[in-house]
Structure 1
Amino acid sequence: MTESDREYSYSSIGKDIHRLDALKKLSGQAVYVNDMILPGMLYARVKRSPHAHAKIVSIETSKARSLPGVRAVLTGKELPYKVGLYLVDKDILAKEEVRHYGEAVAAVAAETAEIAKQAIDLIEVEYEVLKPVLDIKEALLPTSALVHPNLGSYSYLSAAFTPIPKTNVANWTKIRKGNVEKAFGESAYIVEGTYENPSVQHVPLECHVAIAQWGIADKVTIWTSAQSPFTVRNLFCKTFSLPLQNVRVIVPNVGGGFGGKAGIHLEPLVACLSRKAGGFPVKFQASREEEFSLLPCRCALTYKIKTGVSSKGKILAQKMELFWDSGAYADYAVNITRSAGYSAAGPYEIPNAWVDSYTIYTNKPYGTAFRGFGHVEFHWGIERHMNQVAKAVGMDALSFRHLNAVRPGSVTLTGETLSPFSGNVLACMDAVASSIGYGKLSAEEKLLEEKGIFRIGKGLALLHKAPAMPTNTSTAAIVKMQGDGTVSVNVGLTEIGQGSTTALAQIVSETLSFPLDRIDVKIEKDTDSDPYDWQTVASKGLVMSGNACIMACKDLLAKGYAVAAQVLKTRPEELSHTRDRVFVKAHPQLQVSWSNLALGYSYPHGESIGGPLIGIGTYIAQGLSNLDKETGQGNPAMNWTFGAHAIVCKVNTQTGEFSVLKVVSAFDVGKVINPGLLRGQMLGGIVQGLGTALCEGYVFDTSGHLLNQNLTDNKIPTAMDLPVIETIAIESEQVEGPFGARGVGEHSMISVAPALGNAIEDAVKVNITRLPIRFEDVWRALHSKKGENHWLAGILSGFCTEQHVQEK
Structure 2
Amino acid sequence: MNEKKYRHIGKSPLRVEAREKVTGRATYTFDMELPGMLYAKCLHSPYARAEIVSIDSSAAKALPGVKAVLTGEDIPYLLGLYMIDKRVLARGAVRYQGEAVVAVAAVDEETAERALSLIKIEYKQLPSVQTIDEALEAKILVHEDINELEYIKGVFFPQPDSNIASWNKTIKGDIKKGFAEADLIVESELTLPPVAHVPMETHVAIAQADPFSNQIKIWTSTQSPFGVRQLLGKAFGISEGEIQVTAPYVGGGFGGKAGIHLEPLVVVLSRACKGRPVKLTATREEEFNQLPCRAGMRGHIKTGVTKDGKITAVEIIYDWDSGAYADYGVNVGRAATYSGAGAYELPNIELHSRTVYTNKVFSTAYRGFGHLETHWIVERQMDLVAQKLGMDPYEFRMKNILRDGAHTISGEHFTASSGRPDKCLEAVANEIGWTGFQPEADRKAQFKTGKVRGKGIACLQKAPAMPSNTSTAAIMQMDADGNVRVMVGGVDMGQGSNTVMGQIAAEVLDMPLEKVKVVWENDTDRNPYDWSTVASKYTFMGGNAVKRCAQNMVKQMKEIAAQVLRCPVEELEHGDEAIYHIQHTNKRISYKELAMGYVYENGNGIGGALVSHGVYMAEGLTYLNPENGQGLPALDWTFGAHGVELEVDLETGDIEIIKIASAFDIGQAINRKLVEGQIIGGVVQGIGSAVLETFKFSPDGRMLNPSFTDNKIPTAKDLPGKIVPIIVEYPQTDGPFGARGIGEHPMVSVPSVIANALYDALGINFYHLPMSPEAVALAVAKEKLI
- TM bucket (normalised to shorter chain) is over 0.9
C-alpha deviation, 1:591, in angstroms: 3.1
Provide the TM-score with structure 1 as the length reference: 0.94
**Which residue of 1 is the match for residue 52 of structure 2?**
56
Deviations along 1:253-308, one digit per CA (max 9) or x if unpaired, are 10000000001000000000000100011100100000011100000000000111
Does the 8 Å CA contact 2:443/2:762 hold for their aligned counterparts?
A: no
C-alpha deviation, 1:186, in angstroms: 2.1
**Which residue of 2 is the match for residue 292 of structure 1?**
288
Deviations along 1:735-792, one digit per CA (max 9) or x if unpaired, are 01110011010000000001000000011111110000012222332343499xxxxx
Mapping of residues 292-441 of structure 1, within 5 Å: 292-439=288-435
Runs of at least 5 residues in structure 2 that lack an aligned partner in the other structure: none
Among candidates 752, 755, 760, match of residue 758 of structure 2: 760
Deviations along 1:87-132, one digit per CA (max 9) or x if unpaired, are 0000000001000011000101111111111111111111001111
Is 1:229 the counterpart of 2:225 in the alignment? yes
Q: Quick one: structure 1 residues 343 and 589, their matched pair in 2 at CA, closer, same or farther if it must change by over 3 Å?
A: closer
Mapping of residues 592-611 of structure 1, within 5 Å: 592-611=589-608
> What is the distance in 1 between the residues matched to 2:63 and 2:628?
59
559-568 vs 233-242, which moves further:
559-568
Q: Give the total of aligned pairs.
A: 776
**Which residue of 2 is the match for residue 739 of structure 1?**
737
Q: Quick one: structure 1 residues 284 and 655, their matched pair in 2 at CA, closer, same or farther if it must change by over 3 Å?
A: closer
AA matched with 1:504:
M
> What is the distance in 2 between the residues matched to 1:10 and 1:409?
31
**Which residue of 2 is the match for residue 802 of structure 1?**
none
> What is the distance in 1 between the residues matched to 2:348 and 2:389?
19
777-786 vs 417-426, which moves further:
777-786
Among candidates 62, 68, 71, match of residue 67 of structure 2: 71
**Which residue of 1 is the match for residue 475 of structure 2?**
478
Among candidates 189, 193, 205, match of residue 194 of structure 1: 189
C-alpha deviation, 1:637, in angstroms: 0.8
> What is the distance in 2 between the residues matched to 1:325 and 1:343?
19
176-185 vs 551-560, which moves further:
176-185
> What is the distance in 2 between the residues matched to 1:168 and 1:119?
36
Runs of at least 5 residues in structure 1 that lack an aligned partner in the other structure: 1-8, 788-808
**Which residue of 1 is the match for residue 112 of structure 2?**
116
> What is the distance in 1 between the residues matched to 2:655 and 2:240?
54
604-613 vs 754-763, which moves further:
604-613
AA matched with 2:590:
S
Does the 8 Å CA contact 1:198/1:301 hold for their aligned counterparts?
A: yes
**Which residue of 1 is the match for residue 707 of structure 2?**
710
**Which residue of 2 is the match for residue 544 of structure 1?**
541
Deviations along 1:306-338, one digit per CA (max 9) or x if unpaired, are 111112111101110000000000000000000
> What is the distance in 1 between the residues matched to 2:78 and 2:354?
23
> What is the distance in 2 between the residues matched to 1:91 and 1:440?
53
**Which residue of 2 is the match for residue 178 of structure 1?**
173
**Which residue of 1 is the match for residue 130 of structure 2?**
134
- Tell me, what secondary structure is at the counterpart of 2:588? strand
> What is the distance in 1 between the residues matched to 2:532 and 2:154?
20
**Which residue of 2 is the match for residue 274 of structure 1?**
270
Does the 8 Å CA contact 2:221/2:247 hold for their aligned counterparts?
A: yes
> What is the distance in 1 between the residues matched to 2:384 and 2:610?
61
Mapping of residues 534-683 of structure 1, within 5 Å: 534-683=531-680
> What is the distance in 1 between the residues matched to 2:388 and 2:262?
50
> What is the distance in 2 between the residues matched to 1:757 and 1:683?
19
> What is the distance in 2 between the residues matched to 1:562 and 1:348?
49
AA matched with 1:762:
D
- Tell me, what secondary structure is at the counterpart of 2:418? coil
Does the 8 Å CA contact 2:510/2:577 hold for their aligned counterparts?
A: no
> What is the distance in 1 between the residues matched to 2:287 and 2:580?
57
**Which residue of 2 is the match for residue 146 of structure 1?**
141
91-100 vs 309-318, which moves further:
309-318
> What is the distance in 2 between the residues matched to 1:328 and 1:549?
40
> What is the distance in 1 between the residues matched to 2:481 and 2:225?
31
**Which residue of 2 is the match for residue 467 of structure 1?**
464
- Tell me, what secondary structure is at the counterpart of 2:587? strand
**Which residue of 2 is the match for residue 19 of structure 1?**
15
RMSD over aligned Cα, in angstroms? 1.7
AA matched with 2:415:
S
Among candidates 445, 455, 458, match of residue 458 of structure 1: 455
> What is the distance in 1 between the residues matched to 2:666 and 2:577?
33
C-alpha deviation, 1:402, in angstroms: 0.8
Deviations along 1:33-87, one digit per CA (max 9) or x if unpaired, are 1111111111110011111111100111111111111111110001111000000
AA matched with 2:301:
I
Deviations along 1:517-554, one digit per CA (max 9) or x if unpaired, are 11001121111111111110001100000001110001
**Which residue of 1 is the match for residue 775 of structure 2?**
777
Q: Quick one: structure 1 residues 733 and 152, their matched pair in 2 at CA, closer, same or farther if it must change by over 3 Å?
A: same
> What is the distance in 2 between the residues matched to 1:89 and 1:472?
24
> What is the distance in 2 between the residues matched to 1:577 and 1:353?
52
Does the 8 Å CA contact 2:394/2:436 hold for their aligned counterparts?
A: no
**Which residue of 2 is the match for residue 794 of structure 1?**
none
Does the 8 Å CA contact 1:492/1:525 hold for their aligned counterparts?
A: yes
650-659 vs 170-179, which moves further:
650-659
Q: Quick one: structure 1 residues 448 and 749, their matched pair in 2 at CA, closer, same or farther if it must change by over 3 Å?
A: farther
> What is the distance in 1 between the residues matched to 2:471 and 2:577?
33
C-alpha deviation, 1:596, in angstroms: 2.5
Deviations along 1:485-532, one digit per CA (max 9) or x if unpaired, are 000001101001111011111111111001101100112111111111
> What is the distance in 2 between the residues matched to 1:464 and 1:562?
44
- Percent of matched pairs sharing the same residue: 49
Mapping of residues 438-449 of structure 1, within 5 Å: 438-439=434-435, 449=446
> What is the distance in 2 between the residues matched to 1:586 and 1:388?
65
**Which residue of 2 is the match for residue 684 of structure 1?**
681
Does the 8 Å CA contact 1:349/1:404 hold for their aligned counterparts?
A: yes
AA matched with 2:594:
L
Does the 8 Å CA contact 1:292/1:709 hold for their aligned counterparts?
A: yes
Does the 8 Å CA contact 1:380/1:751 hold for their aligned counterparts?
A: yes
Is 1:513 the counterpart of 2:510 in the alignment? yes
C-alpha deviation, 1:470, in angstroms: 0.8
Structure 1 stretches of at least 4 aligned residues deviating more than 6 Å after TM superposition: 445-448
**Which residue of 1 is the match for residue 103 of structure 2?**
107
> What is the distance in 2 between the residues matched to 1:361 and 1:411?
33
> What is the distance in 1 between the residues matched to 2:147 and 2:443?
62
AA matched with 1:350:
L
C-alpha deviation, 1:441, in angstroms: 10
Does the 8 Å CA contact 1:328/1:364 hold for their aligned counterparts?
A: yes
AA matched with 1:491:
V
> What is the distance in 1 between the residues matched to 2:554 and 2:577?
13
Is 1:255 the counterpart of 2:251 in the alignment? yes
> What is the distance in 2 between the residues matched to 1:368 and 1:593?
50
Deviations along 1:208-237, one digit per CA (max 9) or x if unpaired, are 000011113110011000001110000000
- Tell me, what secondary structure is at the counterpart of 1:411? coil
> What is the distance in 2 between the residues matched to 1:661 and 1:448?
20
- Tell me, what secondary structure is at the counterpart of 2:124? strand
> What is the distance in 1 between the residues matched to 2:129 and 2:6?
62
